[in-house]
Structure 1
Amino acid sequence: MSTTTPPTTWPGPSRTAGVPVRAAVLLTALAAALGTAFVLAPGPVARSLSGGGYGSRPELQGRLSASFVDYWAAGERSFPAGLRGLVDYWSRYHLVKAVTAGLLLAVLVALGVLLRKAYLRAGGLTAGRRAALASAGAAVTALALFSLAMVMANVQGTLAPFSSLMSMLPLHGPHGVPAGTLDEIRRQLAAYPDGGQSSPPVEVMVSDFGRYHAVLAVAAAVVALSAAAISAVSWRRFAVAASDRRTRRVLRSSGLFWALMAAAVAVIAVANTATTADPAPALLAFFEGGW
């Protein structure tokens, strides 16, 4: 009488208890690489694209201060060569950061979807492993939200680089903008547009500052609508979900989270829309040291 021993089945190397380990590791490594690139790549790439760069923040601020004073003294709409080079560099710098942050966001979304599916299939796991999956999903969600904020901010800097660059303008100190120049800018902004004596540089600054906030208003509106749509889908699926408590809990949490996200980002969209309609007071607040 012979007995046949059934073959032993081992889990494949790319999946452990419902978690596609190989895909998770690959996405995590890719996210780490993109995060590193987000920090290290913009400066060198922007320098190569614009034909020049700036070694440190103090150097950039020093050149910006001098170029801005020259621009104000010239009294023309067009930027002098030094300021034009700075603006071009800054636009490319933010473009690299926006692209890198966008790629990082896509990778984190893919990783988050993978972890969510693994959590929903985690019936056979211990409570500790389920908690680890939930914690990993929460961490990835937080990183994805940060990446989304970086995409929005850097698109803003790409499309309105002059206003983004002005946020680095030193208003005080030995290398700051001279007090006389600041006083004249403040006077014209306080009277804008009713004073009738706005110089071309002030008109350019106000116009670009309005565009700076318009870009963020549009981006925030798109994000708010997208978050509201995700929330609606989550609640709809929750309403027809089966009795599985884990699935219903995830859908309920998702619906609530994205509804709150939509409301918060909608506030940002409204605030920036208001600034877009009347940018001079907000710009004046910056030059008075309150922005």
Structure 2
Amino acid sequence: MSTTPPPTTRPGPPRTAGVPVRAATVLTALAAGLISAFVLAPGPVAGSMSGGGYGSRRDLDDRLSASFTDYWESGERGFPPGLRDLVDYWSRYHLVKAVTAALLLAVLIALGALLWKAFLRASGRTAGTRAALASAAAVVTALALFSLAMVMANIQGAVAPFSSLMSMLPVHRPHGELAGVLDQIRRQLAAYPDGGPTPPPVEVMVSDFGRYHAVLAVAATAVALLAAAVSVVSWRRFAAVAASDRRTRRVLRSSGLFWALMAAAVAVIAVANTATTADPAPALLAFFEGGW
């Protein structure tokens, strides 16, 4: 009489505290690699794309001061070659950072979702394990929000690199010819637009500064709408969860409140930048006067 051996079952992926170890390890390694790339890669990559980079921040600042002075003295709308090279480099620099930050954001969203799910399923775990899961999920969520801010800021820099570069001018401690140039720009902006003929470089600065804030206004509006939608979904899921599932209800309630507050805060940023877009000259003057 023969007996049939019981069917063998393949073990599932290893889990620690309810977290898929392999998936968590891969996502964590990807996040670490992308953080390193965000810090280290933009300069070399942008330099290779634009025919040459800049050895140091001091080198970049010195070239910016000199080329900005040349631009003002030219009296033309078009950038001289030195400033054009800087603007092209700076646009590519921010493009690389924006793409890297977007990839990091996607990885952190996936890792955060994995950790929050593990926390919600940790009813049989110790209090210490649950606290560790919640803490890890909260840290990853905070990093994801920071990555989102970096995506927005670097899209802004990639679309309006000239205004982004101007923010690096030493307006608080100018020296040499740049000090005189900045003084002339302040006088022109104080009289803009009714103080007579406006030099073409001032028109370019005002226009690009408006574009710089328009990009952030659009991005902030999109983020505010997305945050509001997440808040609504969280509240709806909260209402649908049984009262006995207190952990899930607590997480969903916190999520609903957090994303509602986030939507309100980002909406304020969107409104402020929309106002600056409509009338950028006063804000640009405030920058050149050291008000930023």
Q: Does the pair score TM above 0.5?
A: yes
Residue aligning to 1:268: 269
Q: Distance in 2 between matches of 1:10 and 1:161?
A: 55
Q: Distance in 1 between matches of 2:212 and 2:174?
A: 29
Q: Distance in 1 between matches of 2:17 and 2:180?
A: 69
Corresponding letter in the other structure for 2:194: D
Residue aligning to 1:235: 235
Which deviates the most, 234-243 or 223-232?
Answer: 234-243
Residue aligning to 2:218: 218
Residue aligning to 1:99: 99
Q: Distance in 2 between matches of 1:287 and 1:130?
A: 51
Shift of 1:13: 4.8
Q: State the Cα deviation string for residues 38-84 of structure 1 (Å, max 9, x = none).
A: 00000000000000111111110100000001000000000000000
Residue aligning to 1:290: 291
5 Å-filtered alignment, 1:7-156, equals 12-156=12-156
Matched, 1:170 2:170: yes
Residue aligning to 1:188: 188
Shift of 1:241: 1.1
Q: State the Cα deviation string for residues 76-108 of structure 1 (Å, max 9, x = none).
A: 000000000000000000000000000000000
Q: Secondary structure at the residue paired with 1:194? A: coil
After TM superposition, the score normalised by the length of structure 1 is 0.94
How many percent of aligned residue pairs carry the same amino acid? 83
Listed as ranges, the gaps of 5+ residues in structure 1 are 1-5
Say if 1:170 and 1:176, in contact at 8 Å, map to a contact too.
no
Say if 1:69 and 1:181, in contact at 8 Å, map to a contact too.
yes
Q: Distance in 2 between matches of 1:170 and 1:187?
A: 18
Say if 2:172 and 2:290, in contact at 8 Å, map to a contact too.
no
Say if 1:102 and 1:147, in contact at 8 Å, map to a contact too.
yes
Residue aligning to 1:206: 206
Shift of 1:176: 5.7
Q: Distance in 1 between matches of 2:21 and 2:112?
A: 13
Structure 1 stretches of 4+ with a deviation exceeding 6 A read none
Shift of 1:12: 4.4
Structure 2 CA distance for partners of 1:47 and 1:99, relative to 1, 3 Å: same
Which deviates the most, 254-263 or 171-180?
Answer: 171-180
Q: Distance in 1 between matches of 2:265 and 2:149?
A: 13
Shift of 1:197: 1.7
Which deviates the most, 272-281 or 238-247?
Answer: 238-247
Listed as ranges, the gaps of 5+ residues in structure 2 are 1-5
Paired residues in the alignment total 286
Q: Distance in 1 between matches of 2:86 and 2:64?
A: 7
Say if 1:214 and 1:273, in contact at 8 Å, map to a contact too.
yes
Q: Distance in 1 between matches of 2:129 and 2:12?
A: 19
Q: Secondary structure at the residue paired with 2:15? A: coil
Q: Distance in 1 between matches of 2:282 and 2:174?
A: 27
Q: Distance in 1 between matches of 2:93 and 2:213?
A: 19
Q: State the Cα deviation string for residues 133-167 of structure 1 (Å, max 9, x = none).
A: 00000000110010000000000000000000000
Corresponding letter in the other structure for 1:88: D
After TM superposition, the score normalised by the length of structure 2 is 0.94
Residue aligning to 1:256: 257
Pairwise CA RMSD: 1.8
Say if 2:65 and 2:178, in contact at 8 Å, map to a contact too.
no
Q: Distance in 2 between matches of 1:216 and 1:242?
A: 41
Say if 1:38 and 1:101, in contact at 8 Å, map to a contact too.
yes
Say if 1:37 and 1:100, in contact at 8 Å, map to a contact too.
yes
Say if 1:76 and 1:200, in contact at 8 Å, map to a contact too.
yes
Q: Distance in 2 between matches of 1:288 and 1:17?
A: 56
Which deviates the most, 171-180 or 264-273?
Answer: 171-180
Q: Distance in 1 between matches of 2:267 and 2:174?
A: 41
Q: Distance in 1 between matches of 2:119 and 2:93?
A: 39
Q: Distance in 2 between matches of 1:158 and 1:256?
A: 33
Which deviates the most, 237-246 or 69-78?
Answer: 237-246
Q: Distance in 2 between matches of 1:16 and 1:87?
A: 49
